[in-house]
Amino acid sequence: MPATSKVQDTHISGQFRELHAAMLSIVDAMNRPGNDKGLIGEAGVALDRALFPLLVRIERLGPIGVVDLAARVGRDYTTVSRQVAKLQSIGLVKRQADSADRRVHAAVVTPEGKAMTDALDAARDRLARRFFSKWSKRDLSELVRLVGKFAQQIGQ
């Protein structure tokens, strides 16, 4: 029996390839050391660039275990464990027993860490306002809506 395809779906492969290329460009830009360094400088905080994405994720997702955190940032568990210990030693995060499994100690942001992520968020907002200043309110809202929808579906 011949395979059937919906004519209205034939555009998806080409568009997905374009979307994938665009997403790779976004990830590449966001992973450039200079961008993190610029954001950290704009925020006026002193933080090792390697610790920056961990602190932000711990603040957004915490309490979070190191295994989950390592998977989310695409790094080795032992490396992330050492980096979380560094964040703990400088007072930005603390570890607490996981409510579901007392053997697991999840990372949570401290008030000092929250103050730092708030400063980073304010700096990110200032930079985004400059970047999106020529975008219409409608275009920006649509981008936020569609990227959010995509992120929700791809994360499932």
Which tokens go with 124?
């990110």
Considering only residues 5 and 117, tell me which one the structure prediction assigns the higher pLDDT.
117
**For 24-28, 87-91, 98-102, 137-141, which range has the lowest pLDDT when averaged over its residues?**
98-102
Considering only residues 29 and 63, tell me which one the structure prediction assigns the higher pLDDT.
63
Q: Do 70 and 58 meet the contact criterion of CB atoms below 8 Å apart? A: no
Q: Is 9 exposed, middle or buried (0-12, 13-18, 19+ CB in 10 A)?
A: exposed
Per-residue confidence band for 32, with pLDDT thresholds at 50, 70 and 90: confident
pLDDT of residue 105: 84
Q: In CATH, what number does 17-126 get? A: 1.10.10.10
- Whether residue 100 is predicted with pLDDT greater than 90 in this model: the reply is no
> CA-to-CA distance for 12 and 23, rounded, in angstroms?
16
pLDDT tens for residues 109-133?
999 999 999 999 999 999 889 989 9
Work out the percent of the chain whose per-residue pLDDT is above 70. 92
Q: Can you give the pTM of this predicted structure?
A: 0.78
pLDDT of residue 6: 58
- Whether residue 7 is predicted with pLDDT greater than 60 in this model: the reply is no
Q: Do 109 and 58 meet the contact criterion of CB atoms below 8 Å apart? A: yes
